[in-house]
Chains A and B, each alone.
Chain A
Amino acid sequence: MLILGIETAVEHVSVALADHRGTLATSLLASDRRHAESLVPMIQFVCAQAGINTKELDAIAVDTGPGLFTGMRVGIATAKSMAWALDIPVIPVCSLDILAQRVTRCDDIIAAALDARRGEVYWALYRPASDASPIVQRLTEPVVTVPDDLAALLNERAQMVVCVGSGIERYKDTIDFVSTAQCAGPAYAQPHAQELLIIAAQRAIREEWVSASDIEAMYLRAPDAEINWATRLTARDH
């Protein structure tokens, strides 16, 4: 099972290739805002490094958000188009799952949070990966809230928690108020295609995949125009 992993939902763009033996090649670009320009050349690079033709791919895994709207659309449009042309399935993976998967050798729960800008974070809680279950288990549905809401929930649970992601790094002061929390550090602030493929490989075994036209982006936020429209309608109703 040869899988290509595409990560463009955050500032860092990464691409990886893996089969049953594990990772074959990866490529990372840490400069912001070059997603559309860099992605296809990076796919060409990892395929060349691994000596693989794209026609040999069995599935494509892609981060479907939450994250940067334009960035994730670049990855999803690319994954959809490749999968359609190759007639292979797509494995959509949530950005927060990938982020949580970066935390290894952990006995506590994990809080994965990405910076959502506008003073908010995308976040979810996870049970860590273990020998018995090689991928993280989501405990709460992904949401977008102010970081105080995440801190309040963690305080309420009063359980040791490892906090990971750009949302934690950005609002460290808020998280520091949670006595049970420890931070994974800036090295793990962004999801990476390598962990995306660890999750995708497990899902592929169970054939948990979708066809190219069925992938949906997880935005968590409505477009501003729709929010304003809804506010207007509510105002008119009252």
Chain B
Amino acid sequence: MTTLATPNTVILGIETSCDETAASVVLGGNDVLSSVVSSQIDIHARFGGVVPEVASRAHLESIIPVVQEAVRLADIDPARIDAVAATVGPGLIGALLVGVSAAKALALVWDKPFIGVNHMEAHLYAGLLDDPTLQFPLVVLLVSGGHTMLVEMIDHGMYRLLGRTIDDAAGEAYDKVARYLDLGYPGGPAIDAAAEQGNPEAINFPRAMMHDGLNFSFSGLKTSVINYVRKNPNVSNIDVAASFQAAVVDVLVAKTIMAAQQVGATGVVLGGGVAANSRLRAQLQSQGQLNGLRVAVPSRAMCTDNAAMIAAAGWHRLGTNGPTAMSAGANPNLALPVVA
């Protein structure tokens, strides 16, 4: 660690990669002084998914009020901010550029470093932010609308990709099934709510690749659900939702435990938007404990997109890599930096 990132370093984090405009002030890499998230869910709901141009316009309108609120809630003088971090990818390019432009402008005026942060890496830090006592190596299950992956956190900045989806992301399957069942948008919370009243054992949907390595596949499951409902038009939606959710969660949990055992991890961490799912949270906790693993299930606010994780990851990046050049842009396809 260089002297750039110390326990006294205050970082303003900005996140605009998808449909949340977020800003947060974090002290010393893990003390969250404020975390503000302005969600656009309502404005995208009628389209049944995030519309990039609509998202970018909303980010531009919200960025200053959100940053202002984060600084106000942190109750600090802006002069106390030592660096400004923003998500530079992956995400929607037009959306990312609003946050990157704002962060660079603030860094310029305050004469402080700018730090470009990888959104996926930030999700890995969300668990540590919630529980700083976790010890490496850790296995992180990252599940969202755009990603489903198992990552080994060997150390700070050292990650190994253990498995990933070969087709749809888990969150994508949720959205598609929810749309098919007409349960609403976003699909995750809609199915979660419906599933709570249904029977998870009503229909035995396939658990794809259950015992076949650490990769995932969800597109077949989505098709089975649609075929089942077509053949059984009188089936109850809540039973379909509960059984679909059980199939997704079974696979996610089994592979996470398998991955942790393979690499000798001390614990497992849950992250990403789908990590807000109640069955996934409960199952991972009970299965982890059964297998002698420490399970970190961060708060729902920390699992979904937020800027506290951006500031926290930014603190580590600043310490290891130093500031990012002011000539940096955004990269919609930015990959997680992994070791071989």
Contacts and interface: CB of A to CB of B under 8 A. Distances in A.
A binds B: yes
Interface of A: 34, 36-41, 43-44, 54-55, 69-70, 73-82, 84-86, 212-213, 216-217, 219, 223-226, 229
A51 B319 CA distance: 32
Interface stretch (B93-101, B219-227, B282-290, B305-313): B93-101
14 contacts: A36-B330, A40-B105, A69-B53, A74-B101, A77-B60, A78-B102, A80-B64, A81-B67, A81-B103, A82-B108, A82-B109, A85-B105, A86-B109, A213-B68
Contact of A73 (B64, B67, B101): B101
Contacts of A54: 108-109
Contact of B326 (A40, A79, A213): A40
Contacts of B97: 36, 70, 73-74, 77
Contacts of B47: 225, 229
B115 to A, nearest CB: 14
Contact of A85 (B53, B109, B326, B330): B109
A55 B108 CA distance: 10
A34 B100 CA distance: 13
A69 B54 CA distance: 11
Given A84-B67, A213-B65, A55 B104 contact: no
Q: How large is the interface on B (under 10, 10 to 19, 20 to 34, 35 or more residues)?
A: 35 or more
A78 B64 contact: no
A212 B108 contact: no
A36 B101 contact: yes
Contacts, number: 104
B57 interface: yes
Contacts of A34: 329
Interface in B39-80: 46-47, 51, 53-54, 56-57, 60-61, 63-65, 67-68, 78
B93 A70 contact: yes
A44 B326 CA distance: 10
Main secondary structure, interface of A, reads helix
Question: Which 8 A-B pairs rank lowest in CB-CB distance, beginning with the nearest?
Answer: A81-B105, A223-B53, A77-B101, A225-B51, A37-B329, A81-B102, A85-B109, A78-B105
B306 to A, nearest CB: 20
Interface of B: 46-47, 51, 53-54, 56-57, 60-61, 63-65, 67-68, 78, 93-94, 97-106, 108-110, 326-330
A59 to B, nearest CB: 14
A40 B102 CA distance: 10
Given A43-B108, A69-B94, A36 B100 contact: yes
B105 A82 contact: yes
A223 B51 contact: yes
Contacts of B53: 69, 223-225
A217 B329 CA distance: 21
A223 B47 CA distance: 12
Contacts of B103: 81
A41 B329 CA distance: 12
B60 A73 contact: yes
A77 B99 CA distance: 8
Given A40-B108, A81-B101, 19 more contacts: A34-B329, A38-B327, A40-B327, A41-B327, A43-B108, A44-B326, A55-B109, A69-B94, A76-B60, A77-B97, A77-B99, A78-B105, A85-B105, A85-B110, A213-B68, A223-B53, A224-B53, A225-B51, A226-B51
Contacts of A37: 327-329
A70 B64 contact: no
Contacts of A86: 109
Contacts of A41: 326-327
Given A36-B330, A41-B326, A229-B46, A73 B65 contact: no
A1 B61 CA distance: 27
Given A36-B101, A229-B47, A223 B108 contact: no
Contacts of B104: 39-40, 78
A77 B98 contact: yes
